[in-house]
Amino acid sequence: MLARSTKVPHMLQKKPFLPAISVLTIAMAVTSVAYGSTIAKTASVSSPTAATSSVTSGGVPTVVQSSCMACHGLQGISPDGGMFPNLAGQWKTYMLRELDHFKAHTRADPQSPIMWAMVAPLTAAQTQQVAEYFSSQKPASGHVYDPKLVAEGKKLYFGGLPKMQMPACMACHGTTLAGLPPFFPMLAGQKRTYVINQLTYFKSGQRVATHKGIMQYIATRLDQKQIVALAAYIRSR
């Protein structure tokens, strides 16, 4: 399946065309975000409460069955065609952080209120349990809907937009789209509509890019056609 890379992003070697200043800014952001202050912030979400929540005979947390399955699927592959993200195989640390943002309403894009309602009743133990459960599920497999779009998206994913000083997505989300723990999400196999929505929300500022505004920097350099192509490539992996 996905070979999850734990390597540090290597945009510095791979993207010589970027002006030194923007490379430096982004590299600093990546470093301080991945290994610095946000860890302390996230620690409050993952407070090590004993997992008291129950599990079904099939090993699925009951809260997943009662509260998450309808939109994210029993094993984290969303049964819906589009706007509900797959969670299977997503990094636990990333999901805990997002769940925390939903709880605090600091993730407030037009789709977020659905999740605000979902996380409100969860105990700390249940939050840990669901993130653990979904992260241990097998990621979605890729699907190619439109080879031409996929090819366009792939080019952007690996090449970035030098003229716009936009680094390649690969630098942070990895060559296999597996992301980089603890904070860069896996993208592989993600639903197209969800990806299009999120890039659009980052672009408009409706979803605040909590990591030094990185994704807002990226998304404001993309036009709608490029966003659609990237979503097609991401879904294909």
Binding flags for ligand HEC, 202-231, as an x/- string (CB under 6 A)? -------xxx--xx--x-----------x-
Residue 118 is classified by DSSP as: H
- Whole-Å CA distances, 83 to 14, 72, 227: 33, 10, 15
Q: Is 90 helix (H, G, I), strand (E, B) or coil?
A: coil
Q: Give backbone dihedrals phi and psi of 182, rounded to 5 degrees, phi first.
A: -90, -10
30 is a contact residue toward ligand HEC (CB under 6 A): yes
Binding flags for ligand HEC, 92-121, as an x/- string (CB under 6 A)? ---x--xx-------x-x-xx-xx--x---
| Residue 185: both structure tokens together | 């999400």
Binding flags for ligand HEC, 55-94, as an x/- string (CB under 6 A)? --------x---xx-xxx----------xxx-x--x----
**Distance, CA of 40 to CA of 1 (rounded, Å):** 32
Under a CB-based contact definition with an 8 Å cutoff, are residues 216 and 224 in contact?
no
**Distance, CA of 203 to CA of 218 (rounded, Å):** 8
8 is a contact residue toward ligand HEC (CB under 6 A): no
232 is a contact residue toward ligand HEC (CB under 6 A): no
| Residue 112: both structure tokens together | 């977020």
Nearer to ligand HEC by Cβ, of 110 and 147: the residue is 110
Q: Please state, as a whole number, how many other Cβ atoms lie within 10 Å of the Cβ of residue 170.
A: 21
177 is a contact residue toward ligand HEC (CB under 6 A): no
Q: How many residues bind ligand HEC (CB under 6 A)?
A: 45
Q: Which of 183, 203, 228, 237 binds ligand HEC (CB under 6 A)?
A: 183
Q: How many CA atoms lie within 13 A of 53 on its CB side?
A: 24
Residues 6+ apart with CB under 8 A from 28: none
Residues 118-157 close enough to bind ligand HEC by CB under 6 A: 118, 122, 130, 156
- Of 12-20, 35-43, 44-52, 195-203, which segment contacts ligand HEC by CB under 6 A? 195-203
Specify which residues 55 forms β-bridges with.
Answer: 61
**Distance, CA of 160 to CA of 153 (rounded, Å):** 10
Nearer to ligand HEC by Cβ, of 48 and 223: the residue is 223
Residues in contact with ligand HEC by the rule CB under 6 A: 26, 30, 63, 67-68, 70-72, 83-85, 87, 90, 95, 98-99, 107, 109, 111-112, 114-115, 118, 122, 130, 156, 167, 169, 171-173, 183-185, 187, 195, 198-199, 209-211, 214-215, 218, 230
